[in-house]
Amino acid sequence: MKAIWTIARKEYQLAMRAVTTYIVFTLFLVISGAGFASAVFKIQLAELRSVYDIINLLFVFFIPAITMGSIAKERSSGTIELLSTLPIHLSDIVWGKILSAFWQVLTLLSFVLIYLGVIMVFGENIDYGVIVLGFLGLVMVALAYVSIGVFASSLSSNQVLAFVIALAISGFFYVIRYLLGLMPLRIVRYLQWFSFEYHLSGFLKGVLDVRDVLFFAAITLIFAFLATFKLQSQNMMQER
């Protein structure tokens, strides 16, 4: 457990020193800010639902950008050899990486508080329950995307490839909702269960369903497990 924190802290500190992190952050905030501005000032709604939708879409592109280097970079620089011969479990590495990327996303999300402040100052009849639950939904979905990203990063030493794979998997979960209309009704019922949108919509409406929480937790665990498995397949020693 301590190893996970150590790895996460170091990764986070290094990320916060890198210029690329700030470029990614700035882009993210500019786009989500534009979405917020148009929702609040054009449509004049004192809610964050539309911003949350935009952020969820942005996650599909930006989280893979944050996670792509996590394990791939260790691999390409060879430091994975250093790391995996330490007295730690390989799963510690995976969870450390997930935690650090998750922290970065939370840092990003903390800027949403500014939007909240704007609404609190100018808005009326604000439904805080919906705003808070929607935020929690975003946090959950972010964790799932991060886990997918770290898994993609564990597959090869090529960061670009890691980005593309993460984008493809995250995109799949995101896009399902739009494909459902094309599917026969019989399988729609089962397929919609895999849609992130389907599970997020509850949060955004202000409804907390344990099944939604469990779904995102399960996705996170599955991809974290797959990443660990990928590392183990090369190095079986640490956890025999």
Contacts with another protein, residue ranges (CB under 8 A):
2-3, 6-7, 10, 14, 17-18, 77-79, 81-89, 234-240
Q: Are 137 and 210 in contact (CB under 8 A)?
A: no
Query: Considering beta carbons, is residue 140 or 231 the nearer one to another protein?
Result: 231
How far is residue 135's CA from residue 112's CA, in Å, rounded to a whole number?
9
Residue 79, C-beta contacts closer than 8 angstroms, at least 6 positions apart = none
Say which residue the tokens 């450390």 belong to: 96
CB of 102 to another protein, least distance (A): 20
How far is residue 1's CA from residue 4's CA, in Å, rounded to a whole number?
5
How far is residue 15's CA from residue 7's CA, in Å, rounded to a whole number?
12
User: What one-character-per-residue DSSP string does 174-230 give?
Assistant: HHHHHHGGGS-HHHHHHHGGG-HHHHHHHHHHT---HHHHHHHHHHHHHHHHHHHHH
Query: Considering beta carbons, is residue 49 or 89 the nearer one to another protein?
Result: 89
CB of 235 to another protein, least distance (A): 6
CB of 160 to another protein, least distance (A): 19
Phi then psi dihedrals of residue 165, to 5 deg? -65, -45
CB of 14 to another protein, least distance (A): 6
Say which residue the tokens 């964790």 belong to: 143
CB of 24 to another protein, least distance (A): 17
Query: Considering beta carbons, is residue 82 or 160 the nearer one to another protein?
Result: 82
How far is residue 168's CA from residue 171's CA, in Å, rounded to a whole number?
5
Query: Considering beta carbons, is residue 100 or 170 the nearer one to another protein?
Result: 100
CB of 85 to another protein, least distance (A): 5
Query: Considering beta carbons, is residue 3 or 27 the nearer one to another protein?
Result: 3
Query: Considering beta carbons, is residue 93 or 227 the nearer one to another protein?
Result: 93
